[in-house]
């Protein structure tokens, strides 16, 4: 069956996207610094409003992840002007969760995507593979 691309305002974050982000980020119940120069992070990679010493539970962390992921989805809907498949949208939400909506929307990836260059946009994901100068990318991304 041929899957149809939909306009992004009509696509919701899928359960597999949420589970994928949670699995990749992994759970931490106490705020930590992923790298020495990073910002405090808690739960499943949430950074907004987190201070060192903050604590959470798995249930609260999942609820916060859902809120944060939906905020990122809302943000990228503002800059993506072409239709996407669900898996493409989920990938873009996941990337924006890690790099931020501002960086995502200003990226070459979005420029290529909005020009209809879906393949070129996907290739751009590989440019966002480092944290603190070290490669830190999902093991399922082919290089």
d(CA 136, CA 13): 23
d(CA 88, CA 5): 9
pTM equals 0.83
Tokens of residue 100, six digits: 């931020």
pLDDT digits (tens, 9 = 90+) for 43-68: 999 998 999 999 999 999 999 999 99
41, 56 contact by CB (below 8 A): no
d(CA 140, CA 45): 19
Low-confidence ranges of the chain (pLDDT < 50): 1, 139-143
Q: What is the helix (H) or strand (E) element at residue 31, kind and residue range?
A: strand 28-32
pLDDT value of residue 134:
66
pLDDT value of residue 139:
46
pLDDT value of residue 116:
96
CATH of region 14-135, choose from 3.40.190.10, 3.50.50.60, 3.30.43.10, 1.10.530.40: 1.10.530.40
Residues belonging to the active site = 25
pLDDT value of residue 142:
47
């Amino acid at each position: 069956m041929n899957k149809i691309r939909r306009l992004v305002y009509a696509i919701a974050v899928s359960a597999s996207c949420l589970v994928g982000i949670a699995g990749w980020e992994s759970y931490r119940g106490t705020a930590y610094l992923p790298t020495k120069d990073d910002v405090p992070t808690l739960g499943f990679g949430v950074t907004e409003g987190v201070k060192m010493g903050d604590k959470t539970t798995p249930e609260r962390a999942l609820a916060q992840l859902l809120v944060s992921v939906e905020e990122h989805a809302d943000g990228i809907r503002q800059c993506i002007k072409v239709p996407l498949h669900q898996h493409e949208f989920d990938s873009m939400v996941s990337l924006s969760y890690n790099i931020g909506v501002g960086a995502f929307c200003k990226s070459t990836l979005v420029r290529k995507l909005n020009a209809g260059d879906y393949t070129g946009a996907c290739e751009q994901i590989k440019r966002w593979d480092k944290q603190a100068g070290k490669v830190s990318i999902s093991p399922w991304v082919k290089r």
